[in-house]
Amino acid sequence: MNGRVALVTGASRGIGREIALELASSGHIVAVNYSRSADAAAAVVNEIEAAGGSALAVQADVGDAEAVDSMVSRITEELGPIAVLVNNAGITRDGLLLRMSAEDFDAVIETNLRSVFLCSKAVLRAMMRAKWGRIITIGSVSGVYGNAGQANYSAAKAGLMGFSRSLAKEIGSRGITVNVVAPGFIVSDMTAELGDDAMESVAKQISLGRLGRPEEVASAVGYLASDDAGYITGHTLVIDGGMAL
Ligand code: NAP
């Protein structure tokens, strides 16, 4: 039980929710960020508290600089300085490039990439003061290999890998590690949008023959957040059930 404060963005549902539960189970005090799902975020907080942990739900659009700064100030005042940041919030606005609007391109870059810049910058000073920190960002195999119909999403997810490697070099000497976890297809609201038929054909391309579970991503994030992972930085860990083999 470590008592470190962790901020998980987009923790009301899906992968972020499981990461919040995982970090709470290893003794972190968890700030559960959400955008619109206040009830779902409150339910995550209740689940953590019922298991004997501590958590706080915090609303903020992570693509909005002012909202991010006031969220980080509130967490610092109410829980203490943030030691672990998990940049998990993400959206898709899929479409072939010829039909993709500039609005859909910008929205995905703002929520999936700009947010990583804003949140990382907002927590960095406290981590540097503490000479300890963990910044873990949820990428995607789409950012590693590309995916037809996801030029905006793949650009954002590839961008955050370059961002993380650069930041890892900038702040490695301060005891702060910066890593990316890149899931393949994981069961969540995001993949549910694709429909059962598409998911069945995807599962056939995966060596393990099935989609991943959010908790299988969360356990890797829990490890990267721990002291045990102190010598891993600038790394992208692909969790795709052997999809790309
Ligand atoms: P999800 O079920 O759709 O949940 C998305 C979460 O992000 C929700 O908590 C949502 O909050 C939050 N969010 C969205 N926009 C936000 C904003 N502007 N500010 C703050 N929070 C915001 O998605 P998921 O499948 O768990 O995905 C989580 C992460 O994993 C994303 O970065 C995604 O790109 C990545 N990923 C997912 C898969 C997959 O197969 N599922 C694969 C690879 C990578 P509200 O509930 O309030 O809307």
Query: Per residue in 106-132, is it b (16+ CB within 10 Å) or e — as a string?
Result: ebbbbbbbbbbbbbbebbbebbeeeeb
Contact (CB, 8 A) for 30 and 53: yes
Tell which one of 75, 190, 236, 239 to mutate to probe ligand 1, the residue whose CB is within 8 A of the most ligand atoms. Answer: 190
Measured CA to CA, the distance from residue 218 to residue 221 in angstroms comes to: 5
User: Quick one: pLDDT band at residue 35, thresholds 50, 70, 90?
Assistant: very high
Just give the CATH number of 5-239: 3.40.50.720
Q: In this structure, how many other beta carbons lie within 10 angstroms of the beta carbon of residue 45?
A: 22
Note the helical H segments in the chain. Answer: 14-25, 38-50, 65-78, 102-109, 115-130, 141-145, 151-171, 189-192, 196-204, 214-224
Contact (CB, 8 A) for 130 and 83: yes
Return the ligand 1 atom nearest residue 142 CA.
Answer: 43
Residue nearest to atom 44 of ligand 1 (CA): 140
User: Quick one: pLDDT band at residue 194, thresholds 50, 70, 90?
Assistant: confident
CA 221 to ligand 1 center in whole angstroms: 15
Flag whether pLDDT at 1 surpasses 90. no
CA 172 to ligand 1 center in whole angstroms: 28
Task: Identify the pLDDT of residue 65.
Answer: 98
Measured CA to CA, the distance from residue 196 to residue 187 in angstroms comes to: 11
Least reliable range by pLDDT among 18-27, 163-172, 182-191, 195-204: 195-204
Q: Which two tokens stand for residue 34?
A: 């959400």
Least reliable range by pLDDT among 75-84, 127-136, 199-208, 218-227: 199-208
Using left for φ > 0, alpha for ψ between -120 and 50, and beta otherwise, residue 201 falls in: alpha
- Say what percent of the chain tops pLDDT 90: 93
User: Average of pLDDT values for 171-182?
Assistant: 98
* Catalytic residue list: 153
Flag whether pLDDT at 62 surpasses 80. yes
Amino acid identity at 230: G
Q: Which single residue is written with the structure tokens 């990316």?
A: 180
Q: Sheet harboring 236-239: ordered strands across?
A: 55-59, 29-34, 5-8, 82-87, 133-138, 176-183, 236-239
User: Quick one: pLDDT band at residue 199, thresholds 50, 70, 90?
Assistant: confident
Q: What is the pLDDT of residues 72-124, one digit of tens each?
A: 999 999 999 999 999 999 999 999 999 999 999 999 999 999 999 999 999 99
